[in-house]
Structure 1
Amino acid sequence: MSTAKTGSDHEAHHARVGPRALLALAGFRRLLFTRFSAQWGDGLFQAGLAGAVLFNPEREADPLAIAAGFTALLLPYSIIGPFAGALLDRWDRRRVLVAANVLRGALIVTSALSVAVGASGTTLFTLALVVIGVSRFINSGLSASLPHVVPVRNLVEANALATTLGAVIAVLGAGCAVGLRAIFGDDNLGSGTTTAVACLGSAGSAWFAIRFARGALGPDEVNEPSQTAVAVARGLYDGGRAAVKTPTVLAAFVALLAHRMAFGVALLLTVLLIRFRFDAGLGGLGQVAGLFGAGILLAGLVTARIVAAIGRRRALAGGLLLGAVAVVGFGLPLTMPTTLAAALVISFAGQVVKLCVDAAVQRDIGDDLRGRVFALYDTLFNVAQVVSIALAALVVAPDGASPLLVLGAGACYLVGVGGFALVSRGHA
């Protein structure tokens, strides 16, 4: 079993090599293109679906309908993730990435046809559950494969580059959806046509993935029962046990859990404010997405330097504190400019937290368990975000003007800081 040196602050002792040196690695470069194609398609599909449900004059939207839409985007992998993670640690990840992308492309076309013919919200949400579930599975496979294409000493920097650029590419995909809607129209047929274009991302991702040699992405060893069904059933248990037994990962999970719950509330409020209070339409949501992408890009540029300067633990806690300040300071005025500012700062803070958590899993979890831990990672935090959105939808004002929910989101961040400190101190 491949293992990694543990400890929250040891990254500071490794020199950064820079993006140019990382991109010179053929395997890393190919994995990046696999990720970029997949995430461009993800961004376009999700934005196309959001436009079809939230900003389509032929359909109505309210807080509960919006919450149901977010559930469709976030819940699927929360259900299948722990079990799929066992497959990532059992099956050739290269083969899994190819097959999953082909399946996702077919499902995207099916979803697009359903949008075009005016299928019910239940039908669309069910299809979205499956499409996004496959997408999450692909993302976990890409994350689990990263240590096979870069040296372990460069994982923090490589993960920051891959995750950040991938998120920016997803935002660009969402921007393409906005542009395509302007061409094809915002009715059911136009929305369906826009959504269908996302299948090109799946095709490109499968093409790049198939160029890897068999076994090149792991797993190196298989620590599983011979029966696949038993291996799948053990996914949740094994991932949870590995996370709990690794102090740096457990503490990081506590922090990210708090961020995702706070972010879920902020996300629902933002969509409602743009849709009903500011009347900014899909263009306003595009502005938020653009600033969100800018925050992610900025975090990718500076997180490795922050970790090198102050260590992963302080960087992670600082991200949570910045999130608390941003959500309250920019959220309470309830204006479009401050909402845009909140999108920029909260996305930056959240991405710093996420990159630190990714690094903890990639460095401190062995290769034979890494896929399951990443799958559990997605599951826990998507469930947390879905629950926070659902609970907020029950009490939020119809136009999103709910100061108490803003304060509640800030409190989530502060609870996360306290929980992270307690778990870290308890294992020190």
Structure 2
Amino acid sequence: MAEGWNKAREISRRVGKGAAQAGRASWRAGRATATGTKRAGVATARGAHKMGQATRRLTHANGAGRTGLGRLIELSIGNSAADAFVTVALASTVFFGVPVGEARGSVALYLVITMIPFALVAPFVGPILDKFRSGRRYVIAGTLFGRGLLCFAMAAAVGPGDLPTLFAGALGVLVLSKAFTVSRAAIMPSVLPADITLVSANARVALFSLVTAGIAVPIGAGLTAWLGSAVMLRVAMVAFLLVGVFAVRLPRHVDSPDLEEEAPEEGGRAERWRSLLNVGPAVTEAMLANVGVRLFSGFLLFFMLFLVQDLGAPWLLVKDTFFDVPKTIGVLALAAGLGGLVGAAVANWARNHSPQLIVLLTLALTVATTVVTAIFFNLWTAIAVALVTAFAQELGKLALDAIVQREIGEEVRSSTFGVVEALLQMAWVFGGLVGLLLSLTENGPPGFITLSVVLFAWLVWLLIRRRRRIKAVNAQIHEERQPPTAPVPREQAWAHEEPPTPDEQPSQIDRTKPLTNPYG
């Protein structure tokens, strides 16, 4: 009995000793894990801090930190990241979350809903922004806060599948995003350093925004696949709210003082609209060229998207290999993103060249690439046209922004940008509807042939219009440089007229009086 009790005590002691050793080992392992996690967190924080410092040096280069351009670029970086999160979340919900046939109808409805409000809102968004020139920081912050609230509403609508709420929220996000773009473009001259041109400053903002979007899209896609669209929309909501707080901290000189109206209110409004409609030939020409490029951009996006998903182009896809449907769409999207980056880089390089010439060259390049794609339609030409179209759209829009910022006065600059954005948006929507319709043919070349003919005619009309305008300007300059015709002496004039009566005969003093100097 005693021996058994001693054995039990020995076993208990050994078990307790083993448990204590296991506990100490677990504590050491936990401490090591915590230390490793802490070190990893510190390393990550240091890496993020160094990356932030490097980004700050790039955004504040060439005097951009002194004038406020650097902060505007950083604001655009945050806005681009949040927009990318929203785009990824909505794409998985609206475009790829339903079958192709149903998605085509949903996309068509979205395009129509997008186009109609822009046609109605365009006359009001710009004047409202011009009205609050003295509070542009708060207007920009308001567009960000508004999108944050809309993301919260759309996140609540994802679960029950409330498509009307999703469409309305997406429309509101789009309108506020355009209002942000208009406000940012309007304040660009007030933060422009002396050593940077308008085209270069716009290109720098676009370049950082595109790089940020290229980084944020795969991150957003991974988070959406892991957590779902609703969570991704809430992440975008937090991002918009934080960026909105940063917008309030922009330099105060971006707010322009309100100009005193000399005319009455109604007269001032009429004068504003006359100025807005008469934007000048340079702005009009640049807008029309960008309309052609934006029309083809919308067509290409929706035409290729549904053509690939419908498998209507067997020579475009290589099924069950690397280039299946999702990967083909990914390659085309990557080509478009790369084209936008190259366009922004070329705009920065071409800062000393004529913006008017740039916009026409972008349209001509788009036409040429479309013709080649219509003749040799395959995967590689589709990638080329996606790259060139994104390149032309980015470069042409940056040149157009510089022309508007240079040619249009501050009192109607936001209104002009509002009309420009609405016009380009409607052209993009119309092109998307055409692409949606032509994708039903499940054949690529006819669609590209149709658009190539339309774009070629558009380019020829613009060139003829430009040539006539230049000839008229040259004729006017030549006429102004001609010296005025000297007056004919009265004696010579009388030889071709009835002789004057004696009362009308000039006196001898009048005849000998020298003629007045015609240049005096």
TM (norm. structure 2) is: 0.69
Q: Does 1:407 align with 2:441?
A: no
Are the equivalent residues in 1 in contact too, given 2:307–2:439 (CA < 8 A)?
no
Match of 2:309 in 1: 275
Q: Does 1:252 align with 2:294?
A: no
Match of 2:234 in 1: 196
Cα distance 1:109–1:308, how it changes in 2: closer, same or farther (>3 A)?
A: same
Are the equivalent residues in 2 in contact too, given 1:38–1:204 (CA < 8 A)?
no
* In structure 2, distance between residues paired with 1:415 and 1:240: 30
- Equivalent residue for 1:297, pick from 341, 344, 362: 341
Are the equivalent residues in 2 in contact too, given 1:262–1:410 (CA < 8 A)?
no
* In structure 2, distance between residues paired with 1:312 and 1:404: 33
Map 1:91-110 → 2, pairs under 5 A = 91=132, 92-110=135-153
Match of 1:339 in 2: 382
**Structure 1 residue 106 displacement after superposition:** 0.7
- Equivalent residue for 1:139, pick from 181, 189, 192: 181
Map 1:415-426 → 2, pairs under 5 A = 415-426=457-468
Cα distance 1:333–1:180, how it changes in 2: closer, same or farther (>3 A)?
A: farther
Cα distance 1:46–1:243, how it changes in 2: closer, same or farther (>3 A)?
A: farther
Deviation string 1:65-89 (CA, Å, 9 cap, x unpaired) is: 3233344566644432331111211
* In structure 2, distance between residues paired with 1:179 and 1:332: 38
**Structure 1 residue 337 displacement after superposition:** 3.7
**More deviation in 347-356 or 374-383?**
347-356
Map 1:2-401 → 2, pairs under 5 A = 20-25=61-66, 27-56=68-97, 61-71=102-112, 76-91=117-132, 92-120=135-163, 122-151=164-193, 154-184=197-227, 190-214=228-252, 216-222=253-259, 238=272, 241-242=275-276, 244-277=278-311, 278=317, 280=324, 284-306=328-350, 308-309=352-353, 311-330=354-373, 333-397=376-440, 399=442, 401=443
Q: Kindly indicate whether structure 1 or structure 2 has the higher relative contact order, using CA contacts under 8 Å at least 6 residues apart.
A: 1
* In structure 1, distance between residues paired with 2:374 and 2:101: 26
Are the equivalent residues in 1 in contact too, given 2:88–2:224 (CA < 8 A)?
no
RMSD of aligned residue pairs (Cα, Å): 3.1
**Structure 1 residue 57 displacement after superposition:** 5.1
Cα distance 1:426–1:238, how it changes in 2: closer, same or farther (>3 A)?
A: farther
Cα distance 1:206–1:69, how it changes in 2: closer, same or farther (>3 A)?
A: same
Deviation string 1:315-349 (CA, Å, 9 cap, x unpaired) is: 22221111112233235555444322222121112
Are the equivalent residues in 1 in contact too, given 2:85–2:217 (CA < 8 A)?
yes
* In structure 2, distance between residues paired with 1:47 and 1:75: 24
**Structure 1 residue 357 displacement after superposition:** 0.7
* In structure 2, distance between residues paired with 1:155 and 1:22: 14
Deviation string 1:94-126 (CA, Å, 9 cap, x unpaired) is: 011112211110111111221232213x33212
Structure 1 gap ranges (5+): 1-17, 185-189
Runs of 4+ in 1 over 6 A off after TM superposition: 223-228
* In structure 2, distance between residues paired with 1:353 and 1:176: 29
For residue 293 of structure 1, what is the amino acid of its counterpart?
G
**Structure 1 residue 170 displacement after superposition:** 3.0
For residue 252 of structure 1, what is the amino acid of its counterpart?
A
* In structure 1, distance between residues paired with 2:306 and 2:374: 13
For residue 99 of structure 1, what is the amino acid of its counterpart?
G
Cα distance 1:66–1:312, how it changes in 2: closer, same or farther (>3 A)?
A: same
For residue 439 of structure 2, what is the amino acid of its counterpart?
V
Cα distance 1:291–1:110, how it changes in 2: closer, same or farther (>3 A)?
A: same
**Structure 1 residue 396 displacement after superposition:** 3.0
**More deviation in 383-392 or 272-281?**
272-281
For residue 203 of structure 1, what is the amino acid of its counterpart?
L
Cα distance 1:178–1:239, how it changes in 2: closer, same or farther (>3 A)?
A: farther
* In structure 1, distance between residues paired with 2:368 and 2:190: 38
Are the equivalent residues in 2 in contact too, given 1:86–1:372 (CA < 8 A)?
yes
Identity of matched residues, % = 24
For residue 299 of structure 1, what is the amino acid of its counterpart?
G
Deviation string 1:160-205 (CA, Å, 9 cap, x unpaired) is: 1112322332343333332223322xxxxx2222233222331232
For residue 116 of structure 1, what is the amino acid of its counterpart?
G
**More deviation in 321-330 or 272-281?**
272-281
* In structure 2, distance between residues paired with 1:174 and 1:224: 46
Are the equivalent residues in 1 in contact too, given 2:65–2:71 (CA < 8 A)?
no
Cα distance 1:336–1:69, how it changes in 2: closer, same or farther (>3 A)?
A: farther
For residue 371 of structure 2, what is the amino acid of its counterpart?
V
* In structure 2, distance between residues paired with 1:286 and 1:55: 13
Cα distance 1:35–1:223, how it changes in 2: closer, same or farther (>3 A)?
A: farther
Structure 2 gap ranges (5+): 1-58, 312-316, 471-520
Match of 2:8 in 1: none
Cα distance 1:62–1:334, how it changes in 2: closer, same or farther (>3 A)?
A: farther
For residue 217 of structure 1, what is the amino acid of its counterpart?
V
* In structure 1, distance between residues paired with 2:60 and 2:459: 31
**Structure 1 residue 282 displacement after superposition:** 5.2
